[in-house]
């Protein structure tokens, strides 16, 4: 049975940083992780020292499928996933249970362990599920801390009323697991509906194209589609009505947008044309530059060491076509330049030749397919070099720049 309001697909591919603090309600957290992962969310856990008195790191690791972070001063953890990246790689930070202690630290900006440091360093939305004794919940200090957190746009789910482990009855009981799942779902639904790109339409291309040589071979490149798909999700999360046109990729199709699957450059161009008019176009796909001049319906056979010559012709230039579309041109056209040398200079030259507004020039000398990207955003104002970031972080950052531009234009 689907719990009312959960709309399971909304949480698919969402990244949740779950901070588990020290309260008896922590025993419910394994079930919460299980329910979130059932709905396609990924969960990364931070466990406080007091939280570890109620639930073990091993159980959280087994259920979340990943490492559990505990120590702010762990050389290994900080080198692999620093507390700042940990707090910013998520779509939302959830504190459950949120004890009176951690709420007080959050309200006063304390950062004396990994959990509170991550909370202070995050630039992502935060939700808390309070859990404490009824007298603690009703105390004026807790009320003041709660008001401070709400003034800072911290989202609150619960608490509920009922029997407590201490034997008292009243408010302070952590929200039920499915109520927390529903609150997370409602958050993502409302964020898209009220987002800064609400009412804007966006076209994103992603992945490679496959250009047939014969029925069993094709010309392609090594694009994974991770960056394009991440950009599509980031724009949709901000409220845009997104059409994702994707070549063959192993990336899962996002649920909150229109997805058009294609194989060849001709098919991708046709899908982009059909999606017009749009306000924003991001051409992140790595379209093959060439295709066979003449297709063959039979497999080309090897002939004992003889060389093979393929007669190729250029594929249509999708970025140029969108950039020079006249009255139907998107308000903002962004292309990608995958380069192995002279990254910025080649990116500037591509922007000038294609007629697009921005170019995201990325260094692919280490190859396609990784989870990180090093990019330079090239606009009419010059080149802005970004540090190496996860592809999700690149997408979020680019979506923020797009939002700022659309607001000003």
Catalytic residues: 166
217 is written with which tokens? 């071979």
CA 161 to chain centre: 35
- What does residue 364 show for φ and ψ, rounded to 5 degrees? -110, 20
Alpha-helical regions (H) of 1-43 = 29-38
C-alpha angle 396/13/230, rounded to 5°?
35
* CA separation for the pair 255, 196 (Å, rounded): 20
Task: Note whether 362 and 374 are within 8 A (CB).
Answer: yes
Q: CA-based diameter of the chain, in Å?
A: 87
Alpha-helical regions (H) of 81-133 = 83-88, 100-108, 114-121
| β-bridge partners, 362 | 338, 375
What's the residue count for the chain? 409
* CA separation for the pair 73, 82 (Å, rounded): 10
Cα atoms in the 13 Å half-sphere on the side-chain side of 323: 19
């Amino acid at each position: 049975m689907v719990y009312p309001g959960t709309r399971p697909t909304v949480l698919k591919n969402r990244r949740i940083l779950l901070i588990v603090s020290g309260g008896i309600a922590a025993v419910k957290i394994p079930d919460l992780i299980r329910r979130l992962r059932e709905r396609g969310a990924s969960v990364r856990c931070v466990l406080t020292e007091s939280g570890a008195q109620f639930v073990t790191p091993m159980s959280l690791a087994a259920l979340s499928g990943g490492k559990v972070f505990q120590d702010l001063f762990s050389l290994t953890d900080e080198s692999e996933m620093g507390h700042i990246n940990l707090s910013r790689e998520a779509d939302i930070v959830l504190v459950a249970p949120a004890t009176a202690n951690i709420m007080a630290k959050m309200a006063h900006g304390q950062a004396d362990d990994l959990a509170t440091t991550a909370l202070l360093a995050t630039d992502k939305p935060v939700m808390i599920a309070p859990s404490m004794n009824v007298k603690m919940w009703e105390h004026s200090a807790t009320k003041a801390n709660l008001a401070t957190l709400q003034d800072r746009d911290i989202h609150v789910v619960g608490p509920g009323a009922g029997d407590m482990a201490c034997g008292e009855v009243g408010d302070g009981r952590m929200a039920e697991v499915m109520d927390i799942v529903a609150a997370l779902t409602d958050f993502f639904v409302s964020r898209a509906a009220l987002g800064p790109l609400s009412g804007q339409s966006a076209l994103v291309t992603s992945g490679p194209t496959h250009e047939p040589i014969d029925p069993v071979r094709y010309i392609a490149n090594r694009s994974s589609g991770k960056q394009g798909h991440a950009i599509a999700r980031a724009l949709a999360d901000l409220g845009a009505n997104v059409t994702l046109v994707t070549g063959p990729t192993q990336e899962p199709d996002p649920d909150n947008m229109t997805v058009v699957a294609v194989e060849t450059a001709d098919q991708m161009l046709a899908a982009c044309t059909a999606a017009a008019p749009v306000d924003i176009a991001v051409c992140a796909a790595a379209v093959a530059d060439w295709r066979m001049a003449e297709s063959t319906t039979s497999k080309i056979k090897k002939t004992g060491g003889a060389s093979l010559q393929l007669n190729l012709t250029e594929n249509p230039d999708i970025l140029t076509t969108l950039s020079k579309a006249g009255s139907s041109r998107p308000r903002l056209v962004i292309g990608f330049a995958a380069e192995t040398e002279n990254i910025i200079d080649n990116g500037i030259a591509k922007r000038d030749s294609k007629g697009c507004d921005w170019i995201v020039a990325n260094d692919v000398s280490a190859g396609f397919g990784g989870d990180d990207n090093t990019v330079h955003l090239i606009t009419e104002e010059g080149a802005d070099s970004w540090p190496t970031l996860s592809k999700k972080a690149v997408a979020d950052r680019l979506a923020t720049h797009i939002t700022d531009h659309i607001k000003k234009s």
